[in-house]
Structure 1
Amino acid sequence: MTIATPHDHRLRLGDGRQLGYTEYGAPDGRPVCYCHGFPSSRQEAGLLHQAARIEGIRLIAPDRPGYGRSSDRPGREIHDWPADLAELTERLGIDRFDLIGVSGGGPYALACLAALPARIGHCALICPLGPIYLAPVRRAMAPGVRASLSLARRLPGLTDRFYTGPVPALLAARPEVVARLRYRNAAAPDRAVLDRPEVTAALDRTIVDAMREGAHGARRDLSLYPRPWGFEPSHIDQPISLWHGDTDNTVPVAHAHWYARHLSGCRARIVHGEGHYSLPVRHGHRILKGLITVHD
């Protein structure tokens, strides 16, 4: 098995935009595409690099438009993402691949399942954000988050103003501001992994990357999540392994229960005593091994 150090790449898409991506794990391993969270970037997948190497997985992590090294795409929708991922994998010579969607990347992974069913084998969703455009799902969120999402839905211009000007530059220069908020809101299992310098450093890098081009991706995602996504999640019937911690304070476990009820191919694993960050850090091997086992 070939082992390599992760390297950043950029691909010019057919419409002229740049798509940034990084490959982790084993270069000649089973291809798995990674949909990063919010606000984040391709570098988030670095937390699974060692696990992917051990499990023989070629983990391909692209930046969504407006994040990291990817050009912005004004007016994009969640259901536009599959076309970018399809072009990337085709250019890499990959016909069929597996998929991971983490947190705010969950809706994007589901969009790919809806649009590219013949090209995706299995999908793992890790603490995925549910369809918060539905009132029962939105009500499961913490009151402060729920209020912010409602504000973004009703007054998108206000969100744009917050994520323009000095704010993105401040967050890019001082990621510890976000780190402090992350830690303050975290459950005990999450604080345990956030106390590990390498984990916090990796998450800080994703914030810097997410904000480097003016937070266009974050602004757009915040306006898209609370609106219909352009496809119906309950129509998806491909095999999905869903992993969620029962102490997750960021995306409530109620979202996992909604998916388990409405996705016919979904097998939910609610992991006791794990949170939003501790789950992928502590169980990355299990999650990746599950992608392999389902094919064996």
Structure 2
Amino acid sequence: MPAFSNAVFFCHGAPGSPQDATVLPPMGNDTLLIAHDIFASAPETLLADALAAFDQAAAQATDGKATIIGFSIGAMLALKLAAARAANIKTLILISPAGPLSLGNFLPHMAGKPVFELAASNPKLLKSLTKLQCLLTKFAPKLLRNQLFHKSGAADRALLKDPAFRNTLAAAFKNSFCTHPAAYAACLQAFVTDWSADLGHITCPVTIWHGENDKWVPPAMAQALSAALPSPATLHLVPNTEHYSILAKITLHDS
């Protein structure tokens, strides 16, 4: 018999790992939180494996439905899951979501612009960059953190002083750059394609949380994503908050 009142299925970012979910607010003992390791799958089975894992999570909730949370590029997988499992979705929560690039001219305003351009035009160089990032993960993690956060503002950079958050970043870097580089690269390559057609199949309620000072994903992308969804969408633009710092400020139930 199902044992939980609520089930939550979390899709991490890129770079990312299931440990990203530890930054979320506590959810209570009646909630089952499944933090799915997106990159543990082979690139060709990434979506199918996520669907199977989601089905297992939803089956453990008393109503057979689960909430999906998608963070950053993990929003792409979250949206694809919601499109494929409409009947089993309670609600879809997107945090700092990286939406389809085809919705507007967002790339010049994204901190990851050089990496996304490599994903679109030069996969071999992206592979080489990922190998370098793996070396930095092992031997110069502080240098890598500072390089990736050099465009971030005060709210996100303040997180780097927290040992727990640094551990979360370390897990994200290891999972993406060292343990599963092929799946990580495949995720980036899928992101830079036009996947906007998936949005038309979203029928569940959607809540979007986005920091007004996000340097990784411009707030305009969240606004365009909200407008493009056919289902009811609620957008929260949070002042003085950025890409990672908003994770701890979301709520599961919209008011």
Question: Where does 1:1-296 land on structure 2 (aligned, <5 Å)?
Answer: 28-48=4-24, 51-53=26-28, 56-64=30-38, 67=39, 70=40, 72-76=41-45, 79-80=47-48, 82-89=50-57, 93-94=60-61, 95-132=64-101, 134=102, 136-139=104-107, 141-142=109-110, 145-164=112-131, 167-229=133-195, 231-264=197-230, 265-281=232-248, 283-284=249-250, 287-290=251-254
Structure 2 match to 1:3 = none
Quick one: distance in 1 between partners of 2:128 and 2:238?
Answer: 38
Q: Which has the higher helix share?
A: 2
C-alpha contact 1:28 1:58 (8 A) present in aligned 2: yes
C-alpha contact 1:183 1:191 (8 A) present in aligned 2: yes
Quick one: distance in 1 between partners of 2:103 and 2:86?
Answer: 28
TM-score, length-normalised on structure 2? 0.86
Quick one: distance in 2 between partners of 1:229 and 1:135?
Answer: 10
What is the Cα deviation at residue 198 of structure 1? 2.1
- More moved, 214-223 vs 145-154: 145-154
**Paired AA for residue 163 in structure 2:** P
C-alpha contact 2:137 2:170 (8 A) present in aligned 1: no
RCO comparison, higher one (Cα < 8 Å, 6+) = 2
**Paired AA for residue 185 in structure 1:** K
Unpaired segments of 5 or more residues in structure 1?
Answer: 1-26
**Paired AA for residue 225 in structure 1:** F
C-alpha contact 2:115 2:126 (8 A) present in aligned 1: no
What is the Cα deviation at residue 141 of structure 1? 2.7
Unpaired segments of 5 or more residues in structure 2?
Answer: none
The verdict on how the C-alpha distance between 1:137 and 1:272 changes in structure 2, with shifts beyond 3 A counting, is same
Q: Secondary structure of 2:237's partner?
A: strand
- Give deviations 1:221-273, integer Å, cap 9, x for gaps: 12111012384314423200100011001111011110121113211011111
RMSD value over aligned CA atoms? 2.6
C-alpha contact 1:30 1:58 (8 A) present in aligned 2: yes
What is the Cα deviation at residue 140 of structure 1? 5.2
**What is the aligned length?**
250
